Amino acid sequence: MTGLGAVFRPQLAPERLRAVVRVADEVGLEELWLWEDCFREGGISTAAAALAWTERVRVGVGLLPVPLRNVALTAMEAATLHRMFPGRAVLGVGHGVQDWMGQVGARVESPVTLLREHLLALRALLRGERVTAKGRYVQLDDVALDWPPQQAVEVFAGATGPRSLRLAGEAADGTVLTANTPPDGVRRARRLIDEGRAAAGRGDDVHKVVVYLLAATGSGARERLRAELLAEGVADVPGLGVAGDAQAVADAVRRLAEAGADTVVLQPTGDEPDPEGFVRFAAERVRPLVVVQP
Whole-structure pTM over 0.85, yes or no? yes
What is the CB neighbour count within 10 angstroms for residue 266?
27
In this predicted structure, the answer to whether residue 152 has a pLDDT above a threshold of 80 is yes
Average pLDDT, the chain: 96
Enclosing H/E stretch for 23: helix 17-27
Radius of gyration (C-alpha) of the chain in whole angstroms: 18
CA 86 to chain centre: 18
User: What is the distance between the alpha carbons of residues 286 and 275, in angstroms, rounded to a whole number?
Assistant: 15
- Per residue in 59-112, pLDDT tens? 999 999 999 999 999 999 999 999 999 999 999 999 999 999 999 999 999 999
Confidence of residue 1 (pLDDT cuts 50, 70, 90): confident
Cα–Cα distance for residue pair 16/18, rounded to 1 Å: 6
Residue 53, by phi and psi: left (phi above 0), alpha (psi -120 to 50) or beta?
alpha
Quickly count: other Cβ atoms within 10 Å of residue 37's Cβ: 16
Cα 130 vs. chain centroid, distance in angstroms?
Answer: 27
Which residue, 61, 62, 64, 57, is CA-closest to 87?
57
Peptide bond into 278 cis (omega under 30): no
